[in-house]
Amino acid sequence: MSYVAPVKDMKFVIKELAGLNTLNQLPGCEDATEDTVDAILEENAKFCGDVLAPLNWSGDVEHSVRHADGSVTTPKGFKEAFKQFGEGGWQGLHHPVDFGGQGLPKLVATTGIEMINSANLSFALCPLLSDGAIEAILLTGTEQQRATYLPNMVSAKWTGTMNLTEPQAGSDLSLVRSRAVPQPDASYRISGQKIFITWGEHDMAENLVHLVLARTPTAPAGVKGISLFICPKFLVNPDGSLGKRNDVFCASIEHKLGIKASPTAVLVFGDGKGEVGVGADGTAGAVGYLVGEENRGLEYMFIMMNAARFAVGMQGVAVAERAYQKAVSFARDRVQGRAVEGSAAAVTIIHHPDVRRMLMTMRALTEAARATGYIAAAASDAAHHHPDAAVRADNQAFYEYLVPIVKGFSTEMSLEVASLGVQVHGGMGFIEETGAAQYYRDARILTIYEGTTAIQANDLVGRKTARDGGKTAKAIIAQVRSTEAELAASNHADLKVICDQLGRASKALEDAVEFVAGSAKSDIRAVYAGSVPYLMLAGVVIGGWNMARAALVAQAKIAAGTEAEKRDPFYAAKIKTARFYADHILTRAGGLRASIVGGAEGVLALSEEQF
């Protein structure tokens, strides 16, 4: 089975929950009309389903291959697909028109992020890193740097990478050792080694634009001494043509559990293999150009990291959707066992109640995480485009609170969903040829790269909750309570149940916020011992809130919509999925609350020697 983008659910979420028709009234968002967005979704769905999805399995089997000269060949069909991707304008969907993009809101681009990652996660990582590099150069680069690099990156003729990690410097970037020596012509010579560089070398683009963290000779120690540099694979001549081969080469690519078609490179800067020779002062190294000011590199790199963290969260939604579709298809076809109520012949396994429970869990978690991601994207758009400064600030705070949840909860969710997908397949799921295992393997990296779940949770606790005394979290809870009031006013049986469960869950989140905000100074280890449960609790509740909002809209369509809406099974299914989420997912909130508020003792009880 290939991939069919859930376009109807995407349209429902962006219009009914994320407020497309409010968003497209804002300055700079006017082009995102319903008709335009519908056309974009339909066309992107075709490209992802027809071109990218068929390469997902073959790319996993074939892998990317490094050759003796340091070049890397991608799996069959990838290069041609990437050319179509660029020609279709998909890289530039939300990037500025001034550099060849379409200038559409982040909300619209988020649907594209989900689709491309569902279709082919390994392929999608290349434009994901380019998006971050484009944002970093756009916001911190010079006018000349923007003119030199952005048009070709936005068109996907060139791609971008993010070079942070070194063998001794993973999450702790204060340990970065790569050096950047200034030259008389204002360039720098960069030397060192970077590891885990996603799409760090490949054959799909004419040039690769590496953004590299390194230290100048006079830099202070720690993270305050890190600067950011542009280091292209090929230098760019004044007329825009490609010049000499720079001294940055791929030493190896990693052999990974998943995302096997994506080349994860070890890059060596300044190994003497390029065409650029040594600097005017005799210093060897790759030619690099400072971005912004010296010693502010980590600050600038966070632009890329924050963009990537949101996108990785949407990768979680994407993999979950693909695993769900695969499991449903298998469950409809696989004949095994008699119906529990009795049947003369064996039935397809979708008839079995526990298979239904697994499929509903997959469906409900995916839909909830999708809605959370889309409303976060809409908040980001409002934070950038709304004419009222106070509204912009509120939306920015809302978006920043949601980013670690989108990244952390959605990726953890994808692991659960992909694992259930294997379980639905039974023994067949453990066999690679059925395809279910690939989603499980691919999903495993999502909770790790671009900041582990614990790093996201620490961010949510420290910067997003404790720092403002829980103000933003409490404002979100107030919105949840407003939805509870709407649910309570309904006579619909399912909505009543959703209301009750959402009320209990929101109270659990409120208690957790009070604990985090109130104890961060007095018992910080206890607070951080429950950081990941706090992130998961926030994800469960905010997802449940969005499912409840969806159920209210669906019930209104059934009760007072057009005749077509009243008969559309989509809306009835939306209500029942929200009811399942309330009964089976929101009920997790109480246990998570207990772990946060009273669970630190068990976490911290043993001494180091007792482990």
**How many other CB atoms are there within 10 angstroms of residue 493's CB atom?**
9
What secondary structure does DSSP assign to 155-184, as a single string?
TTSEEEEEE--BTTBSS-GGG---EEEE-T
What letter represents residue 571's amino acid? Y
**How many other CB atoms are there within 10 angstroms of residue 337's CB atom?**
14
Count Cα neighbours of 242 within 13 Å in the Cβ-side half-sphere.
Answer: 14
> Which pair of tokens denotes residue 390?
């106070």
Q: How far apart are CA 611 and CA 601, in angstroms?
A: 15
3-state class of 90 per DSSP? Answer: coil
> Which pair of tokens denotes residue 576?
């029942």
Radius of gyration of the chain (CA): 25
Residue that is written with structure tokens 């620490």 in the block: 458
Phi first, then psi, for residue 278 (nearest 5°) are -100, 165
Contacts with 442 (C-beta within 8 Å, 6 or more apart), sequence order:
121, 122, 258, 259, 319, 418
Q: Which of 565, 473, 472 is nearest to 512 (CA)?
A: 473
3-state class of 332 per DSSP? Answer: helix
Q: How far apart are CA 56 and CA 287, in angstroms?
A: 36
Q: What are the C-alpha distances in Å from 469 to residues 20, 513, 521, 524, 594?
A: 31, 9, 11, 14, 20
Active site residue 450: yes
Q: How far apart are CA 323 and CA 374, in angstroms?
A: 20
Supply angle C-alpha 251, 252, 256, rounded to 5. 155
**How many other CB atoms are there within 10 angstroms of residue 501's CB atom?**
22
Q: How far apart are CA 609 and CA 37, in angstroms?
A: 58
Task: Label residue 550 exposed, middle or buried (CB < 10 Å: 0-12, 13-18, 19+).
Answer: buried
- Residues 578 and 555 sit within 8 Å (Cβ to Cβ): no
Q: How far apart are CA 519 and CA 537, in angstroms?
A: 18
Catalytic residue among 114, 450, 484, 510: 450
Tell how far CA 504 is from the center of its chain: 29
Antiparallel, parallel or unpaired: β 207-214 and 158-163: parallel
What secondary structure does DSSP assign to 249-264, as a single string?
EEEEE---SS-TTS-E
Contacts with 147 (C-beta within 8 Å, 6 or more apart), sequence order:
none
Supply angle C-alpha 84, 85, 88, rounded to 5. 80
Count Cα neighbours of 198 within 13 Å in the Cβ-side half-sphere.
Answer: 23
Q: How far apart are CA 197 and CA 281, in angstroms?
A: 29
Residue that is written with structure tokens 């012949």 in the block: 345
Query: Which of the 8 DSSP states describes residue 29?
Result: -
- Residues 228 and 211 sit within 8 Å (Cβ to Cβ): yes
Where in the sequence numbering do the catalytic residues fall?
A: 450
